[in-house]
């Protein structure tokens, strides 16, 4: 199937305009757009991925993987999902297809997995079958495990070379982010089978975990690969203030909690430093927090004025953020559909060039932004 055929098939599968319900019209600086509700039958959706035929996979935090196709949500969850610890912020989180999914039918799930000592951010590799998932294998855990249900990170992305990046939160335990012997508060880089690439920056370093690509992160909940440079971009939650947008560099320390623009929830100072020598400064910092989640570069043609923009959901800001860039430089941003959707957890560009959003609530939904 060539690219044009794929686009036509995918658009026909996900569009189904007869059952979509138009909501509101919004005027932005570049486009007038329409927000369409595709389904409101999701419970705490977290991640999305488009299959080659245009069907969409959606995770629900309590532990279900759902299929949306032909304008409808399949009422039966897919079998084969691994057992998750659905407590606090933990549960079934991201879903990501292997770059060669069309040939090998492999996908990945991130979730809070249990074991001795508590739970940990975990990644499982699975094969897609018509009846559900099979050959489900746990390939990564952000050890050590810990009690509690906070800060799992859990976004997954593949770079152009086929290496997999996974974000891990520091589990609300600040020192973990600065410990190279601990996998909490990191972005790890793995081969597609979970083994460690030999050129990872901490390979062979005493007292350090070889999976680590970057460290000093708090709770990173967005990953995206730049469509031109191939660099991996990451976005993370600060405490009260101090959310960050970063470009990942091998071996770099991103500061948490030694350098931060945020303060603790009780108002106390976490660090007197917003920047420190030897630590990477963010591209953009938000004070007060917007609680960013999900991250994607827009490369489509449906919204030509947005090409090259970066999008993220703002959980606490109740908005979708469009970030304008000049290469690696932050230019400005625009808040879209502000106040219309609570808790935008993920944003993805569909094969039709539209933007798709999920909202994280017990009555969560799947939404599409279209040109009006």
Q: How many whole angstroms separate alpha carbon 160 and alpha carbon 281?
A: 25
pLDDT at 4 over 60: no
Q: Which residues contact 346 (CB under 8 A, 6 or more apart)?
A: 45, 46, 47, 48, 293, 294, 313, 357, 358
Confidence of residue 348 (pLDDT cuts 50, 70, 90): very high
Distances 334 to 151, 282, 306, 313, 329 between C-alpha atoms, Å: 27, 19, 11, 12, 16
| pLDDT bracket for residue 6 (50, 70, 90) | very low
Mean pLDDT, residues 347-354 taken together: 97
What's the mean pLDDT when you consider all of the chain?
94
Q: How much is the average pLDDT of 99-109?
A: 98
Closest Cα partner for 370 from 21, 83, 7, 6? Answer: 21
Q: How confident is the model at residue 131 (pLDDT cuts 50, 70, 90)?
A: confident
pLDDT band at 23 (very low <50, low <70, confident <90, very high): low
Number of Cβ atoms within 10 Å of the Cβ of 372 = 13
Q: What is the pLDDT of residue 14?
A: 52
pLDDT in tens, 271-282: 999 999 999 999
Q: Which of 313, 350, 181, 300 is nearest to 237 (CA)?
A: 313
Q: How many CB atoms lie within 10 A of CB 193?
A: 10
What DSSP letter does each residue of 304-337 carry, written as one string? GGGTT-EEEEETTTTEEEEEEEETTEEEEEEEES
Tell me: pLDDT of 338 over 90: yes
pLDDT digit string, tens, across residues 68-88: 999 999 999 999 999 999 999
pLDDT at 1 over 60: no
User: What domains sit in the chain, N to C, each tagged with a CATH number?
Assistant: 45-343 (2.120.10.30)
Which residues are identified as catalytic?
A: 151
Percent of the chain's residues with pLDDT above 90? 92
């Amino acid at each position: 199937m060539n690219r044009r055929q794929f686009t036509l098939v995918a658009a026909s599968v996900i569009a189904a305009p007869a059952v979509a319900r138009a909501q509101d019209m919004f005027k932005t600086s570049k486009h007038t757009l329409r927000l369409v509700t595709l389904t409101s039958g999701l419970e705490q959706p977290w991640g999305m991925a488009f299959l080659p035929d245009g069907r969409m996979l959606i995770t629900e935090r309590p532990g279900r993987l759902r299929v949306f196709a032909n304008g409808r949500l399949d009422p039966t969850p897919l079998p084969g999902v691994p057992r998750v610890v659905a407590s606090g912020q933990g549960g079934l989180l991201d879903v990501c297809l292997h770059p060669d999914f069309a040939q090998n039918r492999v996908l990945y799930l991130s979730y809070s997995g249990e074991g001795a000592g508590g739970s940990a951010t975990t990644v499982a590799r699975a094969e897609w079958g018509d009846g559900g998932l099979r050959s489900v294998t746990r390939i990564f855990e952000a050890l050590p495990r810990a009690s509690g249900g906070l800060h799992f990170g859990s976004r997954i992305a593949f770079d152009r070379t086929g290496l997999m990046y996974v974000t891990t939160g520091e589990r609300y335990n600040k020192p973990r982010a600065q410990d190279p012997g601990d996998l909490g508060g990191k972005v790890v880089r793995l081969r597609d089978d979970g083994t460690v690439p030999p050129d990872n920056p901490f390979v062979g370093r005493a007292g350090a975990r070889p999976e680590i690509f970057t460290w000093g992160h708090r709770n990173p909940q967005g990953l995206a690969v730049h469509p031109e440079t191939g660099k991996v971009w990451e976005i993370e939650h600060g405490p009260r203030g101090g959310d960050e947008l970063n470009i990942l560099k091998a071996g770099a320390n991103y500061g948490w909690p030694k350098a931060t623009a945020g303060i603790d929830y009780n108002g106390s100072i976490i660090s007197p430093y917003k920047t420190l020598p030897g630590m990477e400064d963010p591209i953009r910092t938000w004070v007060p927090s917007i609680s960013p989640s999900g991250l994607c570069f827009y490369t489509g043609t449906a919204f030509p004025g947005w090409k090259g923009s970066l999008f993220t959901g703002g959980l606490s800001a109740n908005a979708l953020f469009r970030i304008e860039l000049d290469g690696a430089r932050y230019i400005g941003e625009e808040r879209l559909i502000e106040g219309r959707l609570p808790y935008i957890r993920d944003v993805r560009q569909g094969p039709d060039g539209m933007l798709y959003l999920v909202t994280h609530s017990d009555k969560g939904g799947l939404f599409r932004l279209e040109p009006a």
